[in-house]
Amino acid sequence: MNINEERLINRIKTLGDTGRDAENRVMRVAATDEDKLGRDLVKSWMQEAGLRIEIDRIGNVFGIWETEENKNEEPVFIGSHIDSVINAGIYDGCYGILSGLEVVETLKENNVETKRPIVASFYTNEEGVRYQPDMMGSLVYAGGMDVDEVLKTVGTDGTILGEELERIGYAGNKEPGFLKPHSYVELHVEQGSILHKEGIPVGAVENLQGISWQKITIKGVANHAGTTPMYLRHDAGYVASEIIKFVHDMCEKIPNSVGTIGMIKFLPNAINVIPSLCEFTVDLRNPDNDKLIELEEKFDAFLKEICEREEVEFEKERLVRFDPVKFDEHIVKLIEDEAKSRNIKIKRMTSGAGHDAQMMARICDVAMIFVPSIDGISHNPKELTEDKDLVQGANILLGVIEKLANE
């Protein structure tokens, strides 16, 4: 049994052409008009497939395939997201939910009966561009945040999330968590270069890195760039540069670590003025929680030491902290076995990016399937995965879901 290749690829391209701006950029940022267009399209495909549609209060959308015989059993979830970053590619998230829908349709068309319902689901604000934190919809669904508080979240443009969901017609009436999943599987493009570089068509994702995000503000003293000797400066820009180098060097020394300074802002931001303030973000990741804690502790110690040395002040704000996630060994093994049964080479992997799967792992057994991203490009219109890899991944998902739905 195989999925309908043409239908899957055409849907990925059609959704990829939906929610573009005047400059032809994919702009389905959460709860925008462009996001609504994508939601409406995927929901219409779910309805055409005969699925029952439910929407919860945080805007997560569920296409439910159930029968009289299995409707009281815990369902198998297949999920991902369709919201995007600014100027996105067409595969991130979208491939997962459209493959999930394709799996359900293939099983229905082949008159396969399952012991459990199957739910194709997509979650609100996975990317976290307009509202923070990212992976918001799945986090709320898994009980990690209170829905009433999250709906009050103020976006980067001053909008209120709950009001925007109402405006676009996706403020549902179901309480998050209204369906308790038996298991959850997410199919995704890798967003890294490992599979592509190693020539391996499929990855069985066995764990996911922990993520630590902080915003740091260094407060120095503005002064004349020409008349202030180096030894008399309290230079917020210099302190920030030392911290950036420290993060890079630290992550090279601690195995499997990555660190990124992704945003930075200077004040007064003038060529001839010593910066009085520097604000920047620090993103630390490691799949081992003890090592992630080590990164955080070493960073905190250096931050305190250099600020004391340079006689500047600092402030720290915790933005996000997610522990590493170990996925379910049974589902990972099902993924491996399905690939091998189709004579497809497969590799066990760690996910370096965050996904809805890590939130759903709080409430059920979870694993992920990766297919290659050419050159590892993601969050970029040049994001590309070959059609044959997309199809192979969806066929492996099909086999895994059929087995899980009959447990």
Q: What is the CATH number of the domain that holds 247?
A: 3.30.70.360
Longest dimension (CA), the chain: 82
- Boundary (domain end) residue, out of 322, 337, 365: 322
What are the backbone angles phi and psi of residue 31, rounded to the nearest 5°?
65, 20
- Note whether 163 and 225 are same-domain residues: no
Give the DSSP H or E segment for 316: strand 313-322
- Note whether 339 and 309 are same-domain residues: no
- Note whether 254 and 197 are same-domain residues: no
With CA atoms as reference, report the closest residue to 84 among 19, 11, 157, 153: 19
Q: Inform me whether the pLDDT recorded for 162 exceeds 90.
A: yes
- Note whether 72 and 164 are same-domain residues: yes
Beta bridge partners of 314: 218
Q: Which two tokens stand for residue 27?
A: 């702009």
| Local confidence band at 320 (pLDDT 50, 70, 90 cut-offs) | confident
Q: In this predicted model, what pLDDT tens digit does every residue of 371-382 receive, in sequence order? A: 999 999 999 999
Q: Inform me whether the pLDDT recorded for 296 exceeds 90.
A: yes
Please give the radius of gyration of the chain, using alpha carbons only, rounded to the nearest integer: 23
**What's the rounded mean pLDDT across residues 97-107?**
98
With CA atoms as reference, report the closest residue to 163 among 150, 152, 176: 152
* Residue-level pLDDT at 26: 98
Cα(319)–Cα(133) distance, rounded to whole angstroms?
Answer: 8
Contact 310, 158 (CB under 8 A): no
Mean pLDDT estimate for the chain = 97
With CA atoms as reference, report the closest residue to 354 among 182, 123, 149, 199: 123
| Local confidence band at 322 (pLDDT 50, 70, 90 cut-offs) | confident
Place of tokens 């522990």: 323
DSSP β-ladder status, 202-208 and 325-326 = antiparallel
Cα(93)–Cα(83) distance, rounded to whole angstroms?
Answer: 8
Place of tokens 């996911």: 208
What are the backbone angles phi and psi of residue 224, rounded to the nearest 5°?
-70, 130
Q: Flag the least confident range among 26-30, 208-212, 249-253, 399-403.
A: 208-212
Domain that holds residue 271: 210-322
Cα(220)–Cα(229) distance, rounded to whole angstroms?
Answer: 15
Q: Where are the alpha helices (DSSP H) in 110-235?
A: 136-141, 147-150, 161-168, 194-198
Q: Inform me whether the pLDDT recorded for 45 exceeds 90.
A: yes
- Note whether 201 and 225 are same-domain residues: no
**What's the rounded mean pLDDT across residues 224-230?**
97
Contact 397, 369 (CB under 8 A): yes
- Note whether 101 and 232 are same-domain residues: no
Cα(293)–Cα(310) distance, rounded to whole angstroms?
Answer: 26
Q: How many domains does one find in the chain?
A: 2
Distances in Å between the alpha carbon of 111 and those of 2, 167, 383, 402?
Answer: 13, 39, 36, 12
Q: Where are the alpha helices (DSSP H) in 28-131?
A: 33-48, 94-109
Contact 95, 137 (CB under 8 A): no
- Note whether 267 and 360 are same-domain residues: no
Q: Which two tokens stand for residue 7?
A: 């239908």
- Note whether 15 and 96 are same-domain residues: yes
